[in-house]
Amino acid sequence: MTTAGGLSGAVGISVRPNSSAACLVQKVGALSNSLPGAASVQVSGCQNKARNGQAIRCAMATGKEHGAVTAASIVDQNKGGLRGKLNKVVLAYSGGLDTSVIVPWLRENYGCEVVCFTADVGQGAIELEGLEKKAKASGACQLVVKDLREEFVSEYIYPCLRAGAVYERKYLLGTSMARPVIAKAMVDVAKEVGADAVAHGCTGKGNDQVRFELTFYALNPELKVVAPWREWDITGREDAIEYAKKHNVPVPVSKKSIYSRDRNLWHLSHEGDILEDPANEPKEDMYMMSVAPENALSEPEYLEIGIIAGVPVSINGRNLSPASLLAELNEIGGKHGIGRIDMVENRLVGMKSRGVYETPGGTIMAAAVRELEALTLDRETMQWKDMVALKYAELVYAGRWFDPLRQSFDAFMENITATTTGSVTLKLYKGSVNVTSRKSPYSLYREDISSFENGEIYNQADAEGFIRLYGLPTRVRAMLEKGI
């Protein structure tokens, strides 16, 4: 189970919140799918220029607005809670049932203020709607929303793409790459708001708990980590609903999906329900990013992907930002039924799980980069790159993004793909991605050498001596066996 519905992250905060008596709600970054533009900050009549071109909207929350959570249901913050005392906790927040009940649970059990934190990693505007109201109604003293889409693609997706990192032959690491960028932003927000703890809604059975907490440990080992699913007595949705009613927390009215999903700009994952039996075929109405290949467009589409140093930069000659490029490829790939993966994988905690992934844009990108490497990498380098990529993917899957080993692997990948520059033309048709053209100024392919005709560089007669020397161990073993 993933942390409820598509987690999110945070940006710089220029205003320190007051105590719970007058709580500050901040909304950072654009909540739509458009990229953030220039903006200014206005707090209590003062204006400051927004950092990173991101809009920050602040609104004071009154005590009346916090009335949804009764005073009787929350332990006095000055005296601590049922499980101890924390000052302020930054909670990874989605606005769903699980994270909504975590807010009063943290206040009741740790006597703390709760800062809700949501990151936009491309999960879509619908999942970001109404979060401020939900957070306040649950008892949070502050909401921070940060647009992390460009950072997510350029600093996390692209390194994995360049490395060719694929977990267990199929998985393109969509959730695995998103967690460290979210957790890193949480650590930043914790510092800015003076929090002494962070919390997440991951279960004790999944991989995400490891990914979040290893990032916390790597970036600020002094932070206390609270994982309610490993502590509380809530065992399921019905228990959570009862807890919410008891504490006057509005229960989300949206229809509960039968699947556990995680969506970001790279992919959409599906788990649970009939998928828990690996023998069951997924139902077509489950898919959200792609059409069925058999129902895809009847005409093929050709795309030229421009690549510099192992990462895509353009589509059909148009340069785009990393997030914009990926978003456009998602739209194109989805129309052609590209990027569906159904797999049984080994979770880090030891169990096997079955998941279905939609990664249309990522599948196109990965095919383009791989095909260009066929021109620009020699045999030994490609073989070593493939071997390192396996371990690289394992480290990312296991939440060790900030591990020195992954960072060292990344330096290796960056160095050997420095000449992986050029363009690849792909043909998209009914779920398939096929290469039709490869070009690079650093191509190691030489037509004058590869031709069947004799040339000055390669003389076919030279092959005889090469084969005799290369096959010498084989000949010696055969001579021994035959007594020659």
Q: Which two tokens stand for residue 147?
A: 């647009």
Query: Which residue in 362, 365, 339, 353 sits closest to 287, CA to CA?
Result: 339
Annotated catalytic residue: which of 107, 149, 162, 179? 179
How buried is 272 (Cβ within 10 angstroms: 0-12 exposed, 13-18 middle, 19+ buried)?
Answer: middle
Bridge partners (DSSP) listed for residue 41: 48, 56
Annotated catalytic residue: which of 8, 20, 94, 98? 98
Annotated catalytic residue: which of 208, 262, 353, 438? 208
Coil vs helix vs strand at 458: coil
Q: Which two tokens stand for residue 353?
A: 């799980």
C-alpha torsion sign, points 129, 132, 134, 135: positive
Contact between residue 409 and residue 395 where contact means Cβ atoms under 8 Å apart: yes
Whether 233 sits among the annotated catalytic residues: the reply is no
408: Cβ contacts below 8 Å, ≥ 6 apart: none
Whether 98 sits among the annotated catalytic residues: the reply is yes
C-alpha torsion sign, points 118, 122, 125, 127: negative
The C-alpha angle with vertex 47 and arms to 44 and 51, in degrees rounded to 5, equals 120
C-alpha of 457 from chain center = 48
Contact between residue 336 and residue 297 where contact means Cβ atoms under 8 Å apart: yes
Q: Which two tokens stand for residue 269?
A: 């994952």
Helices (H), 321-461: 322-335, 360-376, 379-397, 404-416, 447-450
Whether 298 sits among the annotated catalytic residues: the reply is no
Q: How far is CA 236 from CA 74, 229, 240, 282, in A?
A: 22, 10, 6, 24
d(CA 38, CA 53): 4
Bridge partners (DSSP) listed for residue 357: 269, 341
Annotated catalytic residue: which of 94, 100, 138, 260? 260
Whether 208 sits among the annotated catalytic residues: the reply is yes
Q: How far is CA 414 from CA 178, 276, 323, 368, 375, in A?
A: 21, 38, 20, 17, 17
Q: Which residues are catalytic?
A: 98, 179, 208, 260
